Amino acid sequence: MALTMFLVMAALLLLGFPMMIPLIAAATVGVVELFGDIDKAEFMVQQMLGGIRPASLIAVPMFMLAADIMTRGHSADRLIDMVMVFVRHIKGGLAVSAVTACALFGAVSGSTQATVVAVGGPLRPRMLKGGYKDSFILALIVNSSDIAFLIPPSIGMIIYGVVSKSSIPELFIAGIGPGLLIMLLFSIYSMIYATIHKVPTEKAATWWERFVAVRRALWPLGFPVIIIGGIFGGIFSPTEAAAVSVLYALFLEVLIFRSITIRDFYSIAKSTGMITGVVFILVGAGAAFAWVLSFAQIPQELLGAIGFTEMGPTAVLFVISLTFFIGCMFVDPIVVILILVPIFAPAVQSTGLDPILVGTLIVLQAAIGSATPPFGCDLFTAVAVFKRPYIEVIKGTPPFVFILLSVSVLLIFFPQLALFLRDVAFDK
Amino acid sequence: MNQTDTKNNSRSLIVRILNGVDSKIAKLEEFIMASGVILMALNTIANVISRFVFNHSIIFAEELNSTFILLVTFAGMGYAARHGRHIRMSAFYDYMPDKARKRLMTLIVAVTAIFMLVLAYYSVQYVYNVYSKGRIMPALGIPVYLTYLWVPVGFFITGIQYALTTVKNISEEGIHLSTDLKEQAPPEIEV
């Protein structure tokens, strides 16, 4: 039965069906085989609605809405300007600015695609003028945007948290360490690249320019304060922090910067609503799929067959990483998390591994996979946003993917990279 | 000749009526999507304020949010179907020759339509079950089935959208991803 379900799913997925259908079809096959009766499809509907309803998932549309407002307004530009005046004069300064700006924008939004647009849009032309090759720029932007997936708020973390029933605030804080490490390594690579390719260095900003840029960025810097400070100060739940950042984004862009109008807000809410529909129907279909799997005890069977629980923690982490990495090379990371987490979750529990560590590793793989050729979905975002041929977008990616994979290995051997901050913040 | 004319006329009248209904539905979906998202934000913020100012949370805030997210999801699903915006993995599809792509797309939208309509049917059954059990939301005090009413409608509208796309693919030239999106150069993604 497991085999039929996976074959149906894989076939429909590869043929290019809308992604909810492979999940729903596989679940239907499962239901028919389990109960011998399609009428039990009613339970599927029940599971779908149950998957969509959890209150903590509301954080996803809220963070998307806040990011949407900021991307159309001035917040992103001001943050980028602030980063640039401080680092543009070092070797590879523009590239380092792009990496840092991605991490910073990741701290105000939870989506990699919003980051590609918000940071890549304004910085790519400047880097082209600054003497960087386009293939390097595109790879840099696509991969650095993945840092946004790790730095809180993170949509991937929220969905993992809900599916695996682990603490979203703890996941959020665990993502910071690996996120900053990637930022550092990408910056170093950028400096080496600039040295080798003799990219000219930019003129340093004056202290007055720096002062002005920081003052202009003060308002947008309120986002990380609200989100990170609010959640870890115990003031807000992640969902509340998300709603408050929507309010704050509106306050900034409508009242302070006057970059969008209330009418724009309605159309932004509309587009967030549509993306929410697209993502949440997948969440629902994923829940139905996971329910059938666990009802038929497929995860135990599957993982038992490869001796998963007797492998020891390091091997388990490697297997999980590899599975998610490969999965995300082909399919949207949210779908992969929805399908694979329920398979691994029971086994992870029995190995005694920290679900927060596993979650951080999984979200890291999701980030890497979605920027890895051939089918990583961020690559296609870049193709669409920058209107560049696919081949040029992927040409510069190998060094970045190599760095990201090294970080995964480091994280497996030194879990403290992720867990140190968590332990400090939550007194563990 | 004459016969085809009248046929065309009566057909175009039906098409006009259908188009009218369709654009009303589209407007309704847009309204539910946008206002649902805004209401979620307002509701969550109101809850925060209430907790700080009046020192206790709004007890029905979570139930309201659950209701809104169902509305937004099922309205957004139909809207995305209308505009061909559901996520799919088109890497292999994109490399196929035109003729094969058209056949495959016709199959994709037809199968999707069937699944959506079947789910619409079973969700009616589910909603009816919830209704007959008389479950009530503990904090809001309203029957649970009311919050589910939009679900079968959403599945049904989505199913119809895909069914219409199937018809369009069979009866017209070109490859149609949805009723209003024809495949040309690589479709642009708005983020």
Distance between CA atoms of residues B19 and B8, nearest Å:
16
Could you give the C-alpha distances from B101 to A257, B97, B162, B171, B175, in angstroms and in order?
47, 6, 16, 16, 8
Read off the pLDDT band of A350 (50, 70, 90). Answer: confident
pTM for the model: 0.89
**pLDDT score, position B57:** 82
Using CB atoms, pick whichever of A18, A61, A267 lies closest to residue B87.
A18
Chains A and B: how many Cβ contacts under 8 Å? Answer: 185
Peptide bond into A153 cis (omega under 30): yes
Chain B within 8 Å of A229 (Cβ-Cβ)? no
Distance between CA atoms of residues A37 and A23, nearest Å:
18
Tell me the pLDDT of chain B (191 aa) as tens digits.
Answer: 445 555 556 667 887 888 888 889 999 999 999 999 999 999 999 999 998 888 888 888 889 999 999 999 999 999 999 998 888 877 788 888 888 999 999 999 999 999 999 999 999 999 999 999 988 988 888 999 999 999 999 999 999 999 999 999 998 888 888 888 887 654 444 43
CB contact under 8 A, A278 and B34: no
**pLDDT score, position B10:** 66
- The ipTM, to two decimals, is 0.88
| Residue A151 φ then ψ, to 5° | -75, 135
Q: What is the mean pLDDT of residues A376-386?
A: 82
Chain B within 8 Å of A270 (Cβ-Cβ)? yes
Q: Is the pLDDT at A78 greater than 60, yes or no?
A: yes
Distance between CA atoms of residues A155 and A369, nearest Å:
16
Q: What is the mean pLDDT of residues A58-80?
A: 90
Give the pLDDT confidence of A187-244 residue by residue, as tens digits.
999 999 999 998 888 888 899 999 999 999 999 999 988 888 888 888 889 999 999 9
Q: Which residue of A has its CA nearest to B30?
A: A270
User: How large a percentage of chain A has pLDDT more than 90?
Assistant: 54
**pLDDT score, position A241:** 93
Show residues of chain A in contact with B66, CB under 8 Å: 53-55
Read off the pLDDT band of A379 (50, 70, 90). Answer: confident
- Letter for the amino acid at B91? A
Distance between CA atoms of residues B78 and A316, nearest Å:
41
Evaluate whether A62 touches A155 at the Cβ level (below 8 Å). no
Show residues of chain B in contact with A246, CB under 8 Å: 41, 45
CB contact under 8 A, B72 and A239: no
Between B118 and A384, the higher pLDDT residue: B118
The partner residues of A209 in beta bridges, in order of sequence, read none
Could you give the C-alpha distances from B129 to B123, B124, B167, in angstroms and in order?
10, 9, 34
- Letter for the amino acid at A359? G
Show residues of chain A in contact with B191, CB under 8 Å: 113-114, 116-117, 381, 384-385
Q: Is the pLDDT at A382 greater than 90, yes or no?
A: no
Using CB atoms, pick whichever of A49, A117, A374 lies closest to residue B91.
A374
Mutate to test the interface with A, among B28, B31, B44, B106 (most CBs of A within 10 A): B44
| Residue A239 φ then ψ, to 5° | -65, -40
**pLDDT score, position B158:** 95
Average pLDDT for chain A: 90
Q: Is the pLDDT at A310 greater than 80, yes or no?
A: no
Chain B within 8 Å of A15 (Cβ-Cβ)? yes
CB contact under 8 A, B44 and A332: no
Evaluate whether A290 touches A342 at the Cβ level (below 8 Å). yes
Give the pLDDT confidence of A2-40 residue by residue, as tens digits.
888 989 998 998 898 998 999 999 999 999 988 888 888
**How far is C-alpha A75 from the geometric centre of its chain's CA atoms?**
20
Residues 6 or more apart in contact with residue B127 via CB below 8 angstroms: B145, B148, B149, B151, B152
Q: In the block, which residue shows the tokens 């005090």?
A: B141
Distance between CA atoms of residues A318 and A320, nearest Å:
5
Helix, strand, coil % over all residues of chain B, rounded to 5: 75, 5, 20
Q: What is the mean pLDDT of residues A269-291?
A: 92
Q: In the block, which residue shows the tokens 């605030």?
A: A169
Give the pLDDT confidence of A223-239 residue by residue, as tens digits.
988 888 888 888 889 99
**How far is C-alpha A296 from the geometric centre of its chain's CA atoms?**
31
Using CB atoms, pick whichever of A18, A266, A375 lies closest to residue B112.
A18
**pLDDT score, position A267:** 92
User: How large a percentage of chain B has pLDDT more than 70?
Assistant: 90
